[in-house]
Amino acid sequence: MAGTRIGGLKASKTMKLRYGATVYESIGRKGGEISRGGGFAKDHELARTSGRKGGSVKSLSCNKGHLYEPDNFQMVDRGGYVSRRCLTCYRAATLRKRNSRWEKEKQLRLEKTVDTIT
């Protein structure tokens, strides 16, 4: 049941039975002791600029780097949430599917003609 609330409660119960009631406190304490306070916790401005960069990159292009321009993307409802579809990638994928289907049909036609000849 990993990934569910009930599974998490069962795992928590098991951890407490095996390692004691303070298991999570000791894990947190060890992490706090070895922490040097670096990264975003130390430099708030770095966190802001990095977040801005990451957000802008994600909103400007798809995973393959095609820009989301008005003629190159489409909003798609994917079962409860809306996402953008890159039309360049979508067209390429449909073309690949269509070509593979066409190749299979061509191969079947060729096999049928060979069978009728022999």
Residue range 69-87, pLDDT digits in tens: 777 777 777 777 777 778 8
Residue 11: the pLDDT is 92
What are the structural domain ranges in the chain? 36-117
- Give, for 73, the enclosing helix (H) or strand (E): strand 73-77
Structure tokens given for 43: 């430099």
Q: pLDDT value at position 1? A: 52
Identity of residue 15: M
Helix axes 5-19, 23-34, angle to 10 degrees: 90
Dig out the tokens for 23 from the structure.
Answer: 């298991």
Question: Residue 92's pLDDT is what?
Answer: 82
Write down the residue that tokens 């079962």 correspond to. Answer: 79
For the chain, 118 residues long, the average pLDDT of each consecutive 10-residue run is 83 93 91 80 85 68 75 77 79 80 80 73
Q: Which of 93, 89, 57 is nearest to 73 (CA)?
A: 89
* Torsion of the alpha carbons at 17, 22, 24 and 25, rounded to the nearest 10: 180
pTM beyond 0.75, yes or no: no
Q: How much is the pLDDT for 23?
A: 92
Q: If we measure between CA atoms, which residue out of 99, 91, 54 comes closest to residue 71?
A: 91
Residues 6+ apart with CB under 8 A from 23: 15, 16
